[in-house]
Amino acid sequence: MDAETDLSTLLTSVAEGDRAALRAVYERQSVRLFGVANAILRDRDTAADALQDAFIRIARRAAQFDATRGAPEAWLGAIVRHAALDIIRARGREVPTDDPALGDQAVAPEAEERLSASVEGQRLRHCLDGLEPKNRDGIILAFVHGLSHPQIAERLGTPLGTVKSWIRRGLQSLKECLA
Amino acid sequence: MIPTDPVERDALAAEYVLGTLDARAARQVEQAMETDAALREMVAAWEARLSPLTALAVPEAPPPGLWGRIATTLDRPAAPAPAAARASPFWRFWALGASMVAAGLAALLLLRPVPEERLMTVLLTQRDQPAWLVEADGGALRLASLNPQPVPADRVMQLWALPQGATAPTSLGLIPAAQGRLTVTPSSIRPEPGMLIEISLEPPGGSPTGRPTGPVLFIGRLAAARGA
């Protein structure tokens, strides 16, 4: 398992039950992925639970990863996000939303740099910049921080129905912009 | 339900990926994806569009022991194994006949009008005999004993719930002695499909550790009752 083996190859080995390959995936990706879970759960213990669940899913579903249809980082990130979302849904989304680190700083300068590090990220950032600010914030609060429609409405001081239609329209605009 | 209109389906896929669907809708999408290849494609396309946003999360090192926990979990058998708990002799003998009671109750439930998906389970003994009927009602759990039996004088029964993905069960309290029915409303968790419900035998006052210490007498997993 040398340092040159790429993630897609590692996942192929994971699908064959190779524990060392799974460990290599963990070693390379766990810092990024723990951050993804912790952004949603905002509690290190629970984020660790989410990452544990996610790696069990990764071990069991690695055969479903198809390198021709997307980057392994995106596939791993989606599994971690959904594992974290399952946990906050099970808890009735009781994660506090008055955390000052949310929303206003959702797109802090260094975070913008990380977003712009990839070509896809740059394109998405360009398209997000074309949205109304509150619309963009709503999408980021949902995707990055796992906020529900009512939580976003509360956070942005906007009626729930408005938030729902904004997000729907915003997603549609992003799709058109990225096409 | 999964819509048939392509625009609505795509909007549903987008909100699934965004994370704004509630637990029930998200589960419906996940179930539909198993057989609906077109929906799977839509979800994959949305994951690809939005995945760069994960870069906005601040990278952070996980706790040092986490890989060890993952490896240990992978080494365990897939399903929780309630049978691993030692059988307590007193309840071994009474489950006879309970399955007939359960069959009757199940029929009654099927005859009732069902306005929406209902979450329920039957807690089984270690010999797979039905012991308690559990039904979720919003945030509450209603329990009915199918064949109440006395608990040893120096022991109490404690009710637990383990949401899917959680690593430790949450205590829902003690079950009053000789009571065949009760309703509990957990404050910290909400009944959801896949949640394990279990009853363990504990010293008076309940488990001193916050986790089950005695044998797990009864266990079941909440699931949506369908077809009613």
What is the per-residue pLDDT for A27? 94
Q: Which CATH number fits the domain that encloses residue A161?
A: 1.10.10.10
**Residues A91 and A114 placed together within one structural domain of the fold:** no
**Residues A121 and A62 placed together within one structural domain of the fold:** no
- B44: chain A residues, CB-CB within 8 Å: 69-70
- B26: chain A residues, CB-CB within 8 Å: 85-86, 89
Nearest to A73 by CA among A27, A142, A137, A25: A25
**Residues A88 and A108 placed together within one structural domain of the fold:** no
Match 């699908």 to its residue by tokens.
A15
**Residues B160 and B203 placed together within one structural domain of the fold:** yes
**Residues A105 and A58 placed together within one structural domain of the fold:** no
Residue in chain B nearest A76 by alpha carbon: B51
**Residues B92 and B156 placed together within one structural domain of the fold:** yes
**Domain closes at, from A49, A72, A95:** A95
Nearest to B117 by CA among B40, B189, B31: B31
What is the per-residue pLDDT for B178? 64
Question: Which residue has better confidence, A148 or B151?
Answer: A148
List, in sequence order, the alpha helices (H) in chain A.
Answer: 7-15, 19-41, 44-61, 72-90, 109-115, 119-129, 133-145, 149-156, 160-178
Does residue B67 form part of some domain?
no
Does residue B219 form part of some domain?
yes
Residue B103 has pLDDT above 70, yes or no: no
Nearest to B219 by CA among B27, B82, B67: B82
3-state secondary structure (DSSP) of residue B71: helix
Angle between helices A7-15 and A44-61 (to 10 degrees): 70
ipTM of model: 0.90
**Residues A3 and A83 placed together within one structural domain of the fold:** yes
What is the per-residue pLDDT for A154? 87
Residue B124 has which token pair? 């089984």
CB B54 within 8 A of CB A120: no
How many other C-beta atoms can be found within 10 angstroms of the C-beta atom of residue B84? 10
- As a whole number of angstroms, the distance between CA B26 and CA B31 comes to 9
**Residues B160 and B210 placed together within one structural domain of the fold:** yes
Distance from CA of B103 to the nearest CA of A (A): 30
Domain count of the fold of chain B: 2
Q: Which CATH number fits the domain that encloses residue A65?
A: 1.10.1740.10
Distance from CA of A38 to the nearest CA of B (A): 8
**Residues B31 and B92 placed together within one structural domain of the fold:** no
**Residues B50 and B105 placed together within one structural domain of the fold:** no
**Span A9-19, average pLDDT:** 93
Residue A98 has pLDDT above 80, yes or no: no
Does residue B66 form part of some domain?
no
| Candidates A7, A26, A33, A36, partner chain B, best to mutate (most B CBs within 10 A) | A36
Judged by average pLDDT, the poorest of A38-47, A142-151, B10-19, B93-102 is: B93-102
B86-99 pLDDT, tens digit per residue, is 333 333 333 333 44
3-state secondary structure (DSSP) of residue B161: strand
Range of the domain at B211: 82-225
Single-letter amino acid, residue A153? A
Range of the domain at A35: 1-95
Read off φ and ψ for residue B101, nearest 5 degrees: -60, -45
Residue B8 has pLDDT above 80, yes or no: yes
- Contacts with A126 (C-beta within 8 Å, 6 or more apart), sequence order: A177
β-sheet bridge partners, residue B223: B120
Q: Please state whether the predicted TM-score (pTM) of the whole model is above 0.80.
A: no
**Residues A78 and A101 placed together within one structural domain of the fold:** no
**Residues A112 and A87 placed together within one structural domain of the fold:** no
3-state secondary structure (DSSP) of residue B203: coil
Does residue B68 form part of some domain?
no
Does residue B95 form part of some domain?
yes
| Candidates B9, B10, B18, partner chain A, best to mutate (most A CBs within 10 A) | B18
B35-86 pLDDT, tens digit per residue, is 999 999 999 999 999 999 998 888 999 999 999 999 998 887 654 433 333 3
**Domain closes at, from A95, A111, A141:** A95
**Residues B104 and B214 placed together within one structural domain of the fold:** yes
B107-132 pLDDT, tens digit per residue, is 444 444 444 567 888 888 877 778 88
- Contacts with B133 (C-beta within 8 Å, 6 or more apart), sequence order: B102, B105, B120, B122, B123, B143, B144, B146
**Residues B87 and B47 placed together within one structural domain of the fold:** no
Domain count of the fold of chain A: 2
Does residue B128 form part of some domain?
yes
Residue in chain A nearest B26 by alpha carbon: A86
Does residue B64 form part of some domain?
no
Nearest to B15 by CA among A130, A148, A30, A157: A148
A18-58 pLDDT, tens digit per residue, is 999 999 999 999 999 999 999 999 889 999 999 999 999 99
Percent of chain B residues topping a pLDDT of 90: 25
**Span A68-73, average pLDDT:** 87
Does residue B72 form part of some domain?
no
Using CA atoms, how far residue B101 sits from A101, B112, B216, in Å, is 55, 17, 22
**Residues A73 and A115 placed together within one structural domain of the fold:** no
Q: Which CATH number fits the domain that encloses residue B132?
A: 2.60.40
- A40: chain B residues, CB-CB within 8 Å: 19
Nearest to B85 by CA among B219, B208, B207, B209: B219
Match 């029964």 to its residue by tokens.
B157
- A90: chain B residues, CB-CB within 8 Å: 23, 163-166, 189-190, 192, 195
Residue B141 has pLDDT above 80, yes or no: yes
